[in-house]
């Protein structure tokens, strides 16, 4: 089985790492923040235990087996062994561009690089690497172990072989690929961030409480989660960063970030990951 190098051990990186390991891949997980990396084995074990109770597929996961396939490292150079790289660092163009430049030194011929970005152009990131044809967007959905598809994004230079390999990789994780073309936000986030931002504006304008906005989506439209619950799950910092990317790229005021969202992030209210967002969450 191939080796997957996962960069970034935040909300998405840990989910991607355990999903790959549970499906038989050897995984090398790295993060530049020593505290995040130190906490990652315990966090990943907690996630496996949580997901075991959440679906028939994940019900058979065994924490020792999954964790046994993940190597945690602070050294990006260790990812030279990987056949696939899945990049999940912060949604910041400059930070990602710096990392993709460094990947020139790390990734040998034949390595495929998947950018798990919410909104940033795959074409821009690929342009920083040695072989843009080997770079593809794989936008995993949160929570990764439970959701049934990934958006596979074809950058300007992405080769047919890379798309085929990405579809095989996503399929090996038990998910369906939906292949779309590169444009900021792709399909999922260009739509969902309008919903989440406008939902925040409804609260900002005093039209409704968060519970009311979400109840209308759940009870009225039959959605599993409301837009503000979804924003809390993603992380409000990531939502704000993504809206900024969409605003910047399209130069369209419809993506102007709600000031309440910015204020919450400035105050450290990041949603589930900080224990407080539009809702309050128990911390383990």
Ligand X SMILES: NC(=O)c1ccc[n+]([C@@H]2O[C@H](COP(=O)([O-])OP(=O)(O)OC[C@H]3O[C@@H](n4cnc5c(N)ncnc54)[C@H](O)[C@@H]3O)[C@@H](O)[C@H]2O)c1
Q: Among this protein's residues, is 189 annotated catalytic?
A: yes
Q: Among this protein's residues, is 241 annotated catalytic?
A: no
Q: Among this protein's residues, is 223 annotated catalytic?
A: no
Residues with Cβ within 8 Å of 32's Cβ and at least 6 positions away in sequence, in order, are 74, 89
Task: Tell me how many helices (H) and strands (E) the chain has.
Answer: 12, 8
- Is 9 annotated in a binding site? The answer is yes
Q: Among this protein's residues, is 118 annotated catalytic?
A: yes
The correct pick among 19, 23, 58, 88 for binding ligand X (CB under 6 A) is 88
| Shortest Å distance, C-beta 157 to ligand X | 20
> How far apart are the C-alpha atoms of 89 and 32, rounded to whole Å?
9
The correct pick among 23, 117, 162, 192 for binding ligand X (CB under 6 A) is 117
Between 94 and 206, name the residue whose CB sits nearer to ligand X: 94
> b or e along 158-167 (b: 16 or more beta carbons within 10 Å of the residue's beta carbon)?
bbeebbebbb
> b or e along 193-230 (b: 16 or more beta carbons within 10 Å of the residue's beta carbon)?
bbbbbebbbbbeeeeeebeebbebbeeeeeeeebbbbb
The correct pick among 19, 118, 158, 274 for binding ligand X (CB under 6 A) is 118
Per CB under 6 A, which of residues 6..25 are in contact with ligand X?
Answer: 7-13
Between 35 and 160, name the residue whose CB sits nearer to ligand X: 35
Distances (CA, A) of 208 to 195, 205, 213, 233: 15, 8, 6, 20
- Is 118 annotated in a binding site? The answer is yes
Which residues lie near ligand X (CB under 6 A)? 7-13, 31-33, 36, 88-91, 95, 99, 116-118, 139-140, 142, 234-235, 238, 242
Enzyme catalytic residues? 118, 139, 151, 189
């Amino acid at each position: 089985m191939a080796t997957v190098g996962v960069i970034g051990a935040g909300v998405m990186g840990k989910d991607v790492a355990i999903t790959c390991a549970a499906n038989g891949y050897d995984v090398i997980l790295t993060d530049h923040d020593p505290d995040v990396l130190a906490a990652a084995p315990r966090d990943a074990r907690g996630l496996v235990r949580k997901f075991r109770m959440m679906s028939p597929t994940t019900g058979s996961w065994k924490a020792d087996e999954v964790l046994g396939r993940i190597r945690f490292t602070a050294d990006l150079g260790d990812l030279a062994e990987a056949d696939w790289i899945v990049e999940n660092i912060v949604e910041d163009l400059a930070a990602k561009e710096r990392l993709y430049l460094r990947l020139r030194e790390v990734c040998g011929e034949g390595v495929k690089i998947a950018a798990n970005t919410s909104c940033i152009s795959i074409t821009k990131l690929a342009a920083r690497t040695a072989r843009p044809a080997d770079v593809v967007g794989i936008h995993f959905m949160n929570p990764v172990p439970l959701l049934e598809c990934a958006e596979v994004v074809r950058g300007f230079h992405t080769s047919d072989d890379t798309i085929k390999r990405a579809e095989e990789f996503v399929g090996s994780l038990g998910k369906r690929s939906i292949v779309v073309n590169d444009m900021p936000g792709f399909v999922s986030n260009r739509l969902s961030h309008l919903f989440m931002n406008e939902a925040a504006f409804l609260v900002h304008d005093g039209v409704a409480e968060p519970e009311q906005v979400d109840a209308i989506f759940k009870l009225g439209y039959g959605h599993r989660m409301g837009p503000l619950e979804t924003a809390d799950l993603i992380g409000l910092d990531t939502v704000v960063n993504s809206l900024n990317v969409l605003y910047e790229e399209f130069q369209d005021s419809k993506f102007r970030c709600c000031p309440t969202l910015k204020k919450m992030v400035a105050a450290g209210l990041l949603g589930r990951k900080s224990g407080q967002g539009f809702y309050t969450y128990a911390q383990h």
